[in-house]
Amino acid sequence: MIFTLQSGTANYQWSWNKLATNSSGLEFVTSRTGNSETNVYSSIEGVHGATGSWEGVASDSTGDKLIACESISGLTHVGIVQTSIDGGNSWTTRTPSGADRIWRDADISDDGSTLIVCAESSGGVGGRIWISTDGGVNWTETQPTGNVDRVWNRVTLNSDGTKILAAVRGGKVYRSTNGGANWSEITPTGSSENKNWSVLELSSDGNFVMAGIYAGRVYISTDGGDNFNETQPAGNVTKSWNYGTCDADGSHLGLISEGQYYAYISSNQGVSWDAVQPATPDTTAGWYSIATNSDGSVYYFGGQLSTQYSTIYRGTQVVTKIKKIAELVKGSIGTLRGVAIADVGTIQGLE
């Protein structure tokens, strides 16, 4: 993997809280804290907002439609939700009506029409989840655990927004397969007690799931969450897993353990992992956030406040994917990732 420092991010007074990128990996958006302020930063449009505490950010497949949510606005304990349809050049407040909350996370479907935001329960402010199917104009509350407040920490959508995961900090993991109409618990076996879920990733089709615990372990499912297996990016050890990422089909993964100067990358659905160093090692601090594009060829790594890692690095790698080619008939001519194939006979069983 080849690493490059991203222009405009080499300021050691920032902590890059959460990262998101578009399908191509050419653009990214992030929330950041530092310099006595917090804001949203787009690689295309620069800085947005200078007050509050921005937490969750997400991008549609093009990078044009964005969503950002704020946990605390100024001295108050309620934040707002904002969206952009021009890559971050302009923003519109889209907070669900009557739902001023401490917002923790947000996600957006590939076409930008379906949005989801979650809030924590704190200081008398209720923790709930809202979904919009019209770009944030209208919102509907969804209740994975019934009409009760929770400290919702992570939410994620599949490509069309029909499959949803939601995780509680100090609780469990829940799944919906019908856009939030109904929910079921899918907490991985061996972690049935309440945990601080901080990693939650879902493939485009909703079949691949990665869920991780802050000060705990990481679990992977390839059947939508019916069954899980533990994966060990750093060996048989407990880590402070903070953020994760996966590409469209769940084959390329990334994980960040807060304060570690390594990031962990897998190219085979978590069967094996590589520890990578986007920048010169510094054992006093490390990385905080991570994101990858749709095919896993591009990664972004965000660093922590007031260290040499208070930057964003971009990592690129060559990715080759061949899936479900059942048969090539002898004498036919086709194209596979731009390479002409002629008179090759029959190829069976490629996955």
- On whether the CB atoms of residues 58 and 110 are closer than 8 A, the answer is no
Highest mean pLDDT among 3-12, 95-104, 252-261: 252-261
Bigger pLDDT: 128 vs 75: 128
Both tokens of residue 248?
């469209």
pTM reported for the whole predicted model: 0.85
Rounded Cα gap, residues 224 and 130, in angstroms: 22
Of 13-22, 113-122, 333-342, the range with the lowest mean pLDDT is 333-342
Is the pLDDT at 348 greater than 90, yes or no? no
Is the pLDDT at 71 greater than 50, yes or no? yes
Is the pLDDT at 261 greater than 90, yes or no? no
Residue 62 backbone dihedrals phi, psi, to 5 degrees: -90, -25
Both tokens of residue 238?
């407990």
Bigger pLDDT: 202 vs 123: 202
Set out the domains of the chain in order of their start, with CATH numbers. 2-319 (2.130.10.10), 323-351 (no CATH)
DSSP 8-state secondary structure symbol assigned to residue 230: E
Q: What angle do CA 313, 319, 324 make, to 5 degrees?
A: 145
pLDDT, tens only, 145-180: 998 889 999 999 999 999 999 999 999 999 999 999
Exposure string over 71-105, b if 16+ CB within 10 A, otherwise e: bbbeeeebbbbbbbbebbeebeebbbeebbbbbbb
Output the CA torsion sign for 38, 166, 226, 59: negative
CB atoms near residue 139 (< 10 Å)? 21
Q: Would you state the pLDDT for residue 64? A: 92
Residue 160's identity, in one-letter code, is D
pLDDT, tens only, 270-287: 999 999 987 765 555 578
pLDDT, tens only, 301-331: 888 765 555 678 888 988 765 443 333 333 3
Bigger pLDDT: 342 vs 170: 170
H-helix or E-strand containing 144? none
Q: Which of 272, 131, 258 is CA-nearest to residue 199?
A: 258
Residues near 349 by Cβ (< 8 Å), separated by ≥ 6?
Answer: none
Q: Would you state the pLDDT for residue 310? A: 64
94 confidence band (pLDDT: 50, 70, 90):
very high
Residues near 110 by Cβ (< 8 Å), separated by ≥ 6?
Answer: 23, 60, 61, 159, 160, 204
Instruction: Calculate the average pLDDT of the chain.
Output: 81
213 confidence band (pLDDT: 50, 70, 90):
very high
